[in-house]
Amino acid sequence: MPPTPRRSTILEVARLAGASKTSVSRYFGAERERLSPSLQTRIAHAAGTLGYQPNQMARGLKGGRSKLLGMLVADIRNPFSVAITHGVEQACRQYGFSLIVCNTDNDPEQERQHLDLLGAYQVEGLVVNASGNPERQLHNFISLGTPIVLLDREVDHVEAEVVGLDNHQAIDMALEHLADQGYQAVLYVSEAPEQSSTRQKRLLRFSQTAEQHGLNYTTSLLTDMNGAATLQALSDFLTTHQRHACAVLCGNGNATLIVTRLFQQLGLPLGTVGLMGIDELDWCALVPPGITTLAQPTEAIGKTAVQCLMHRIEPHAALMPKELSFAPTLIERGSTQR
């Protein structure tokens, strides 16, 4: 076998099958039916022996159809993001598209670079879980006719479907549950809200409605990975509300992780001091007596995002999903049992 036996081309298949390029092209395209049975078998055979595979690059060049979708993920190491990515990927496959996943590590610069790349590869649609505010580049895609869907986070001045959790409902459900369980004071812990519309919405909703649930409340922002500032906020909170039944509500999975560590550092008994988090994680059931969470329907969110895109790419293949905003599911565990 030669060192680099070039990938075989459509022409070689055609020759070996005693047919023309066009016929082979049709065979691999959407018009296989229109070829005579005899030709079909000849081509199939030839392609088989040569191990031929149409070159997507060349294909895309001609029709402008890359059959590629791009996805921007702010933090791939977040299990929640992974779960959604998984849904997105499944859906892509289903529609016959491939997916280029780009992780930005919450860095706007990487985000810019990745968007350029995705453009260069002619993706036909974009699922964006933004890190910064790449409105400039997103508009670029839009004006080129490339559909975009926003995942979990909005981007200023970019009009596109936003698929994700119903944040108001989530906060409301959490507050209701905590109130029901008899907690009287709640501390809301969130990661820095600047870069994420979702964090902002949850935080705001919390501040606006905690009172209506008859709860005293405070908020604290996580500044570093250790939550040093929040440790302080937490002790202060507990001191201030000594006479109340206290609980902490975590704005997302990462907050839950950090706060759980804090609880252990302070030796707080889970439940007596309530703990609840948005995002369900593998281990929430494992930390005794179990951490109560609000689970997001991640697969559905991912699938829906792709469906939005497909609806605009191939309107006949997918209809516009009716719901873009999803309700969480309450998973009750011991950490909110007094």
Partner DNA sequence: CTGTTAGCGCGTTCAG
Partner DNA sequence: CTGAACGCGCTAACAG
Interface residue list for DNA (CB under 7 A): 6-7, 9-11, 18-23, 25-26, 28-29, 34-36, 38-39, 52, 54-55, 58-59, 61-63
Sheet strands (E) in 5-133: 68-73, 98-103, 125-128
Q: Which of residues 163-182 bind a second copy (CB under 8 A)?
A: none
What is the C-alpha to C-alpha distance for residues 281 and 266, in angstroms, rounded to an integer?
Answer: 22
Q: Which of residues 87-126 bind a second copy (CB under 8 A)?
A: 89, 93, 98-103, 110, 113, 116-117, 119-122
What is the C-alpha to C-alpha distance for residues 18 and 230, in angstroms, rounded to an integer?
Answer: 74
6 vs 243, beta carbon nearer DNA: 6
What is the C-alpha to C-alpha distance for residues 29 and 127, in angstroms, rounded to an integer?
Answer: 27
Q: What is the dihedral of CA 305, 307, 312, 315, to 10 degrees?
A: -170
User: In the Cβ-directed half-sphere of 60, how many Cα atoms lie within 13 Å?
Assistant: 14
67 vs 112, beta carbon nearer DNA: 67
Smallest gap, in angstroms, from Cβ of residue 285 to a second copy? Answer: 7
Structure tokens at 57: 């690059």
Smallest gap, in angstroms, from Cβ of residue 121 to DNA? Answer: 12
Structure tokens at 278: 């948005």
For residue 231, give the H/E element and its range.
helix 228-240
CA separation, residue 39 to residues 31, 32, 35, 48, 50 (Å): 13, 10, 6, 14, 16
Instruction: Decide if residue 224 touches a second copy (CB under 8 A).
Output: no
**CA–centroid distance for 281 within its chain:** 15
Q: How many positions of this chain bind a second copy (CB under 8 A)?
A: 54
116 vs 236, beta carbon nearer DNA: 116
Q: Which does 79 bind (CB under 5 to 8 A by kind): DNA, a second copy, none?
A: a second copy
CB 198 within 8 A of CB 167: yes
User: In the Cβ-directed half-sphere of 271, how many Cα atoms lie within 13 Å?
Assistant: 10
25 vs 90, beta carbon nearer DNA: 25
Please choose, from the candidates 127, 209, 126, the residue with its C-alpha nearest in 3D space to the C-alpha of residue 164: 127
Instruction: Decide if residue 232 touches a second copy (CB under 8 A).
Output: no
22 vs 56, beta carbon nearer a second copy: 56
Smallest gap, in angstroms, from Cβ of residue 21 to a second copy? Answer: 16
Q: What residue has token string 């997507």?
A: 56
Q: Which does 9 bind (CB under 5 to 8 A by kind): DNA, a second copy, none?
A: DNA
Structure tokens at 89: 């990927």
42 vs 114, beta carbon nearer a second copy: 114
Q: Which does 272 bind (CB under 5 to 8 A by kind): a second copy, DNA, none?
A: none
Q: Which of residues 53-92 bind a second copy (CB under 8 A)?
A: 53-58, 60-61, 66, 76-77, 79, 82-83, 85-86, 89
CB 331 within 8 A of CB 316: no
Smallest gap, in angstroms, from Cβ of residue 281 to a second copy? Answer: 8
Contact footprint for a second copy (CB under 8 A):
1, 3-7, 51, 53-58, 60-61, 66, 76-77, 79, 82-83, 85-86, 89, 93, 98-103, 110, 113, 116-117, 119-122, 140, 143-145, 257, 260-261, 264, 281-283, 285-288
